[in-house]
């Protein structure tokens, strides 16, 4: 994973990433989601600026994943609007994402177990194949060329994540961090304009997490990133903007420095623990005040 | 010795047809986790369509082509109309639906074509080749049967291994939700899977009809049992397993027929099914450890 911090090879047009400055902005305004009577999100707004990394953080159950799933059409918002590339997305379905230039990774890995690493990444590049359904089905020559190009793109993407050595292996036989890199290669091969990362650092070591941070910073010049993550040091390091959720409500937003110094954020992260201590102490007849640190 | 040679030849030939039929079941199982018990009836229907064309003066080849195209259409329509509503639901629902479809299609055949046995003339001579003064259980027609099955297998393997559509179909089979997020039209892939399976089933119907020489609306009923046993023997998930399972079952049943008793063939198939499920429930070639029964 040592090559991640290096700039991409842009010498040939066959590399998956052509130099382009991202221009697309994702705006989510006044998003509310209710599951039955329970409000999972109440009036949350965030904007992922072009080429920026936007962090979405909050304690467990704050609604991060729900917000994330609204962004990719897995969860329908009951109120609010989503605008992408200046157009409102209505009734967004997950299958439309790749056409819209949006890619997401899944919590965990989500690789296809019965497909090789290379094939997994090739599925990610699916939308770039030109041949139609039937010419591909009957293996008409244009489609053969297509397949070769697809294969090449996938290899380049794997190489950029230093995982090309595993191309012929099956995901199940690889260590978890390698699988995560393959999953990332699969998301990147589609050349997304917006990358949705769902807890990419889970299960990684300190070292791997630092390399992941380098990679995300490096990607941000080429695409916008929405990052859901609970490793605070990673978030603080790579994000340009951060939105903090607690109990489905937005409690803070701003740059990492602003958010870090926001008393509401400290309260959300530490407040619960303090309250718990108090409750237990009071029940036990001990003065809770001395326990607060 | 002569008997052994001929039983082996007969076993391989009938096994090839079982293999084709098992392959059709595996195609559907892989993509939708449904065992299509209506496969036999669907194949009987297309065989009867071909037979009425042949009886009306068309050549066998026109009949065969029409049977295959009819299979393609019926398979796609069945998936879209009947199966789609129960996909992803409890397995029992799908089982009941395919069983209902089985009965309905069989009734439809009786209504359209009558319940009487009708002669089915093989496209090639069924007189066995001679080796010295003994007649082999191998005729031009059985060679055609073997060749047709082989062609279909190679074609399917090529489709799955080397084409983009095949890759998308495999991805859909391993993870529908993830495939959808990557832009694969999963619904289309499922329809295509059912359509292809029905084509293979139709071919098996045409081949077995030429072997048994008489067809009635129920003539495929035993083949669904043997095909299912062959598929389970091979592991239900594995196309290669289906082929090997079909050949092994064909040989085993041929020896039972020749050395023990003709009437025990059905029983022997079920005994094999029970033994496989007891000893190696994943089948001989299962690629996934966890199989939903």
Same domain, A90 and A67: yes
> The tokens 């289309």 sit on which residue?
B188
Identify whether A110 is part of a domain. no
| Residue A215 and residue A187 in contact, taking contact as beta carbons nearer than 8 Å | no
Question: Parallel, antiparallel, or unpaired: how do β-strands A53-57 and A241-246 relate?
Answer: parallel
Domain assignment of residue A140, yes or no: no
- The domain segmentation of chain B, as residue ranges, is 2-118+136-279
Are residue A210 and residue A249 in the same domain, yes or no? Answer: yes
A17 band by pLDDT with thresholds 50, 70 and 90: very low
Residue A15 C-alpha, separation from nearest chain B C-alpha, in angstroms: 20
Same domain as A269, residue A215: no
User: Distance (Å, rounded) from C-alpha B94 to C-alpha B23?
Assistant: 19
What is residue A15's predicted lDDT score, i.e. its pLDDT?
A: 41
Q: Hunting for tokens 């009437």 — which residue is that?
A: B263
| Same-domain check for residues A277 and A230 | no
Find where tokens 């605008």 sit: A83
Where do the H-state alpha helices sit in chain A? 64-71, 117-124, 133-137, 141-160, 176-188, 206-219, 232-238, 256-260, 263-284
The DSSP bridge partners found for residue A195 are A103, A225
Other beta carbons within 10 angstroms of residue B154's beta carbon come to 10
**Beta-strand relationship, A53-57 and A224-228:** parallel
B150 or A95, greater pLDDT: B150
**Of the partner residues B159, B174, B183, the one whose CB lies closest to the CB of residue A112:** B174
Q: pLDDT at residue A243 above 80?
A: yes
User: Chain A residue closest to B160 (CA)?
Assistant: A137
First to last CA, chain B: 41
Chain B nearest C-alpha distance from A110 (Å): 7
Question: Does A201 share its domain with A256?
Answer: yes
Collect all residues of chain B within an 8 Å Cβ-Cβ radius of residue A131: 164
In chain B, the residue whose alpha carbon lies closest to the alpha carbon of A106 is B178
Q: Are residues A223 and A249 in the same domain?
A: yes
Which CATH number characterizes residue A28's domain? Answer: 3.40.50.300
Q: What is the CATH number of domain B2-118+136-279?
A: 1.10.3470.10
Is A199 inside any structural domain?
A: yes
Over 50: is that where the pLDDT of A83 sits?
Answer: yes
Cβ atoms of A50 and A22 closer than 8 Å: yes
Strand positions, DSSP E, chain B: 118-119, 130-131, 134-135, 214-215
Q: In the A/B pair of chains, how many CB contacts fall below 8 A?
A: 82
* Contact yes or no for A183/A198 (Cβ under 8 A): no
The answer, for A124 touching chain B at a CB cutoff of 8 Å, is yes
Contacts of B156 in chain A (CB under 8 A): none
d(CA A98, CA B181): 7
Cα separations in angstroms, A272 against A275, A279, A291: 5, 11, 14
Spell out the residues 6+ positions from residue A282 whose beta carbon is closer than 8 angstroms to its own. Answer: A288
pLDDT of residue B44: 95
- Domain count of the fold of chain A: 2
Domain presence at residue A146: no
Q: What is the mean pLDDT of each run of 10 residues along chain B (293 residues)?
A: 88 92 90 89 96 93 96 95 88 92 95 91 86 84 92 87 86 86 87 93 93 89 91 86 92 92 88 88 64 40
Decide if A185 is inside a domain.
no
Residue of B nearest to A188 (CA): B182
Question: Is residue A245 a contact partner of residue A67, using CB atoms and an 8 Å limit?
Answer: yes
**Claim to verify: residue A33 and residue A93 sit in the same structural domain:** yes
HSE (CB half, 13 Å, CA atoms) of B153? 23
Contacts of A137 in chain B (CB under 8 A): 159, 163, 165, 192
**pLDDT band at A282; cut points 50, 70, 90:** very low
Quick one: pLDDT at residue B77? Answer: 95
Sheet containing strand A79-84, edge to edge, reads A87-88, A79-84, A26-35, A38-48, A249-254, A241-246, A53-57, A224-228, A194-198, A102-104
Whether the Cβ atoms of residue A53 and residue A240 lie closer than 8 Å to each other: yes
| ipTM of the modeled complex | 0.75
CB atoms within 10 A of CB B188: 15
Using CA coordinates, name the residue in chain B closest to A139: B163
Q: Does A130 touch chain B (CB under 8 A)?
A: no
Q: Is A291 within a domain?
A: yes
**Would you state the structure tokens that stand for residue A73, as one six-digit string?**
């059409």
Answer yes or no: do A271 and A254 share one domain: no
Mean pLDDT (whole number) for A186-199: 88
- Chain B contacts of A117, Cβ < 8 Å? none
Q: Does some domain include residue A90? A: yes
User: Is pLDDT above 60 for A132?
Assistant: no
- Please state, in angstroms and rounded to a whole number, the distance separating the CA atoms of residues B181 and B173: 14
B25, B231 Cβ separation under 8 angstroms = yes
Rounded Cα distance between B170 and B176, Å, is 10
With respect to residue A106, please indicate whether it lies within any of the assigned structural domains. Answer: no
How open is the CA angle B23-B28-B34, to the nearest 5 degrees? 125
Residue range(s) defining the domain that contains residue A293: 265-293
pLDDT value of residue B285: 74
DSSP lists the bridge partners of residue A55 as A227, A242
Report long-range pairs for A137-142 (Cβ below 8 Å, ≥24 apart): A137/B159, A137/B163, A137/B165, A137/B192, A139/B158, A139/B159, A139/B162, A139/B163
| Mean pLDDT computed over every residue of chain A | 78
Q: Closest by alpha carbon to A79, among A29, A27, A32?
A: A32
Q: Which of A71, A74, A94, A147 to mutate to test the interface with B (most CBs of B within 10 A)?
A: A94
């Amino acid at each position: 994973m040592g090559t991640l911090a290096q700039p991409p090879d842009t010498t040939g047009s066959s590399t998956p990433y052509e130099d382009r400055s991202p221009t697309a902005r994702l705006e989510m305004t006044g998003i509310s989601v209710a599951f039955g009577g329970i409000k999972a999100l109440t009036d949350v707004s965030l904007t992922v600026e072009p080429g920026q990394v936007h962090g979405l953080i909050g304690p467990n159950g704050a609604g991060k994943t729900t917000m994330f799933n609204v962004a990719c059409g897995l969860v329908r918002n009951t109120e609010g609007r989503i605008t992408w590339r200046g157009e409102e997305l209505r009734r967004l379905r997950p299958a439309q994402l790749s056409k819209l230039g949006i890619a997401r990774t899944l919590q965990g890995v989500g690789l296809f177990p019965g497909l090789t690493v290379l094939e997994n990444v090739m599925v990610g590049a699916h939308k770039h194949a030109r041949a139609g359904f039937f010419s591909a089905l009957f293996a008409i020559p244009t489609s053969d060329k297509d397949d070769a190009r697809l294969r090449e793109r996938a290899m380049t993407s794997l190489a950029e994540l230093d995982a090309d050595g595993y191309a012929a292996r099956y995901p199940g036989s690889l260590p978890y961090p390698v699988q995560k890199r393959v999953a990332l290669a699969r998301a990147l091969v589609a050349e997304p304009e917006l990358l949705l990362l769902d807890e990419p650092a889970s299960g990684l070591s300190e070292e791997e997490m630092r390399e992941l941070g380098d990679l995300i910073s490096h990607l941000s010049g080429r695409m916008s990133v929405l990052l859901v993550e609970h490793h605070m040091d990673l978030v603080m390091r790579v994000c340009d903007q951060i939105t903090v959720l607690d109990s489905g409500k937005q409690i803070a937003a701003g740059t990492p420095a602003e958010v870090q110094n926001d008393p509401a954020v400290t309260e959300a992260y530490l407040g619960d623990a303090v309250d718990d201590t108090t409750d237990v102490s009071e029940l036990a007849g001990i003065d809770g005040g001395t326990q607060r640190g | 010795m002569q008997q052994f040679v001929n039983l082996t030849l007969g076993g391989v030939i009938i096994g090839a047809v079982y293999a084709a039929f098992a392959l059709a079941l595996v195609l559907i199982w892989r993509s939708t986790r449904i065992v299509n018990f209506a496969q036999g009836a669907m194949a009987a229907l297309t065989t009867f369509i071909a037979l009425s064309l042949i009886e009306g003066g068309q050549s066998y080849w026109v009949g065969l082509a029409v049977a295959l195209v009819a299979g393609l259409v019926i398979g796609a329509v069945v998936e879209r109309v009947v199966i789609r509503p129960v996909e992803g639901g409890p397995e029992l629902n799908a089982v009941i639906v395919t069983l209902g479809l089985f009965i309905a299609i069989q009734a439809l055949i009786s209504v359209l074509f009558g319940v009487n046995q009708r002669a089915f003339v093989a496209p090639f001579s069924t007189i066995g080749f001679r080796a010295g003064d003994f007649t082999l259980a191998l005729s031009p027609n059985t060679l055609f049967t073997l060749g047709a099955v082989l062609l279909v297998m190679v074609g399917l393997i090529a489709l799955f291994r080397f084409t983009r559509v095949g890759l998308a179909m495999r991805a859909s089979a391993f993870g529908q939700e993830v495939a959808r997020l990557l832009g694969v039209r999963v619904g289309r892939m499922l329809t295509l899977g059912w359509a292809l399976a029905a084509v293979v089933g139709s071919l098996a119907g045409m081949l077995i009809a030429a072997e048994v020489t008489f067809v009635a609306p129920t003539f495929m009923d035993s083949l669904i049992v043997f095909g299912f046993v062959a598929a389970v023997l091979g592991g239900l998930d594995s196309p290669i397993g289906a082929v090997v399972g079909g050949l092994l079952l064909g040989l085993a049943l041929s020896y039972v027929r020749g050395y023990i008793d003709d009437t025990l063939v059905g029983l022997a198939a079920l005994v094999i099914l029970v033994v496989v499920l007891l000893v190696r429930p994943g089948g001989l070639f299962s690629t996934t450890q966890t199989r939903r029964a």
